Structure 1
Amino acid sequence: MINVMAYKIAKILNNNVLIARNEHDIEVVLIGKGIGFKRQTDSIIKQDEIEKLFMLTEREEQEQFKKLLPHIEDELLKVIISSIELIRERTKSFLNEHIHVALTDHLVFAVNRLMRGMAISNPFLIETRVLYPFEYEIAKEVVQLINEKAHIYLPEGEIGFIALHIHSAMVNKDVHQLNSHSQLISKLVQLIESQFDVTIDKESMDYMRLVRHLRYTIERVIRGERVEEPEKIASLLKQEYPMCYNLSWKLIKVMQQTLKKSVFEAEAVYLTMHLQRIQNKIK
């Protein structure tokens, strides 16, 4: 009989990683140096042999992780798991368990490409840093940890990719959706720069406000959330700042086409105010 401080081996993945069942018959991943060496299925692992433990409750996540693990070198796997523990400590929040599969898969892919001299650039790094500053700072720590422990050099762009994975796990949203939002914001900013014939300072406070406003607009559109429509202000802005007002509608049309969602007219008012502020700074 398994006691509280022991686990029964369900599957040995390699010498240092195995799948086991706890006293509630729930599968857990156990990690420890040599923990699987010369062990057999159904044998008992005691608590003091375990260096790290985490639980994957979703069957699909378990199966994906099992398929992924045998293809990862032990030392790299340890660093990745330590990175996820660091993320959990820094966020102090519930993380969707998919981060174990998604971030592990991403980092293994990134390291393999790096070893072949094929590092991927991140064209949306600045937008990600502005949109998710908290997650970005944690991602910087993760990259530093991996570089030091794995003796490699992940490029700066990886900070942005990892930040998206962290935010995805925190808010329980698909990382591809988050990345598509960053791409959309980048596209909208390029349209603004083209219309104003200017390159916006990506380090400026106005840029940060604009990007965050675009992010919140996109989130409202996805939720179908209506904002209050200030009719008098709308009429005034349309008369006083026709270029900004027309540009705001161009941006809204791009959002509608990309998100396949309707955008309430009031959004044009708030976008116009942000655009007018930027235009004033570049005059």
Structure 2
Amino acid sequence: MLSVKKVLNNNVLVVEHPDYEEVVLIGNGLGFGKKPGDTVAGEQAEKFFVLREEKDQEQYKQLLDYVDENFIGLMNDIIEIVEDRFSIRLHEHIHITLTDHLFYAIKRVKQGLDIKNPFLSETELAYPKEFLVASELIEYLNKQLNLEIPPGEIGFVALHIHSALTRRSLQEVNRHTQLIAELVQVIEQSLSIKMDREDINYLGLVRHLHLAIERINKEQFMENQEPLKNVLQAEYPVCYNLSWKLMKIMQHTLKKTIPEAEAVYLTLHLQRLSKQ
């Protein structure tokens, strides 16, 4: 038997748990007539998850004011799918952020409003595993709700999944995706080209940019490539100078030092693209 700490609604309780401190229990009629201090059998719950922070509990309570219980149940099924695919317990905040996001996304779809995602390709390249699972979730939602959610939504869901997996804020994950898109735009303008989003050179560039951002954030610097740097600077001055322009943008956005060796690898990618 578990002690009730807070009643969120007739179907959702916050209880004290011997292993997880405080957990959220979900079950039909589970909270009816309950008050703090009462006991409840844990096996009566259909679902449970941990919300350790008081702030998260309050946000989830606010969520329950406008999201119906059937949708809450559906979201718990979806989060279980993600945890199963990655064999990991997700950061509990996803119960708030993803539920809120998809609730309003589905509302817009039902109103006939389109969902635009200018960073869809970049998101798929940066987070392929998350993107694949997000595709599965959108397909699952379409079947359950008899809807046709636009493909752009897959990218947004993938970012939520990545945020929960890495315990990085959604704002930070979004900022990195937008940074890659900005760098691609600068490259296209500087080289007067329009890159084919399916081309192997474009895919290689975006993957490199994504990995570079990860390395820079973790301060995992590559070995200096001084001899090759001098050759590339002399042979491909346009691409070499552009690589430094991109590095300055990255430095300004990430607020981190960019190793000089990065200019070598960027120049090689840019030279391949410029041949187009």
Query: Is the structural similarity TM-score above 0.5?
Result: yes
225 and 26 in structure 1: CA distance in 2 versus 1, 3 angstrom threshold: closer
| 1:200 maps to amino acid | M
Maintained 8 Å contact 1:76/1:150: no
From 206, 214, 223, give the equivalent of 1:219: 214
Cα separation, partners in 2 of 1:25 and 1:136, compared to 1, 3 Å:
closer
Query: Does the 8 Å contact 2:20/2:50 carry over to 1?
Result: no
> 1:129 is matched with which residue: 124, 133, 139?
124
RMSD of aligned residue pairs (Cα, Å): 2.0
Shift in Å, 1:184: 0.9
- The partner residue of 1:204 within 183, 199, 203 is 199
Q: CA, structure 1 residues 23+264, in 2 after alignment: closer, same or farther (shift >3 Å)? A: closer
Q: Equivalent residue for 2:21?
A: 26
Q: 1:15 to 1:59 in 2, by over 3 A?
A: closer
Structure 1 residue runs without a partner (length 5+): 1-5
Distance 1:60 1:39, change over 3 A: closer
- Taking structure 1 as the reference length, the TM-score comes to 0.89
Of the structure 1 ranges 36-45 and 188-197, higher mean CA displacement relative to structure 2 is found in: 36-45
Which aligned pairs between 1:74-223 and structure 2 lie closer than 5 A?
Answer: 74-223=69-218
Q: Are the aligned partners of 2:49 and 2:92 in contact in 1 as well (CA < 8 Å)?
A: no
Give unmatched runs, 5+ long, in structure 2. Answer: none
In structure 2, the partner of 1:44 is 39
Q: Decide whether the 8 Å contact of 2:24 with 2:50 is kept in 1.
A: yes
TM-superposed CA distance for 1:37, in Å, is 3.5
Q: Could you tell which deviates more after superposition, 17-26 or 173-182? A: 17-26
| CA–CA separation in structure 2 for the residues paired with 1:53 and 1:183 | 35
Q: Is the 8 A contact 2:82 2:133 kept in 1?
A: yes
Q: CA deviation at 1:23?
A: 4.2
Change (3 A) 1:119 1:21: farther
Aligned to 2:50: 55
CA, structure 1 residues 150+242, in 2 after alignment: closer, same or farther (shift >3 Å)? Answer: same
The more displaced of 123-132 and 23-32 is 23-32
Could you tell me how far apart the structure 1 residues matched to 2:3 and 2:206 are? 51
Letter of the aligned partner of 2:79 in structure 1? I
Single out whichever of 162-171 and 14-23 deviates more from structure 2: 14-23
Provide the rounded CA distance (Å) in 2 between the counterparts of 1:66 and 1:220. Answer: 38
Native 8 Å contact 1:79 1:150 kept in 2: no
Q: Which amino acid aligns with 1:108?
A: F
Q: CA deviation at 1:182?
A: 0.9
Matched, 1:242 2:237: yes
Gap change, CA 1:233 and 1:108, over 3 Å in 2: same
Distance in 1 of aligned mates of 2:16 and 2:147: 35
Structure 2 CA distance for aligned equivalents of residues 186 and 128 of structure 1: 10
What's the counterpart of residue 67 of structure 1?
Answer: 62
Amino acid at match of 1:35: L
Cα distance between partner residues in 2 of 1:128 and 1:25? 34
Deviations 1:171-211 (A, max 9, x none): 11111111111111111111212222222121222222111
Question: Which amino acid in structure 2 is aligned with residue 272 of structure 1?
Answer: T
Q: Which stretch shifts more, 135-144 or 150-159?
A: 150-159
1:30 aligned counterpart, secondary structure: strand
Partner of 1:3: none
Equivalenced residues, count: 276
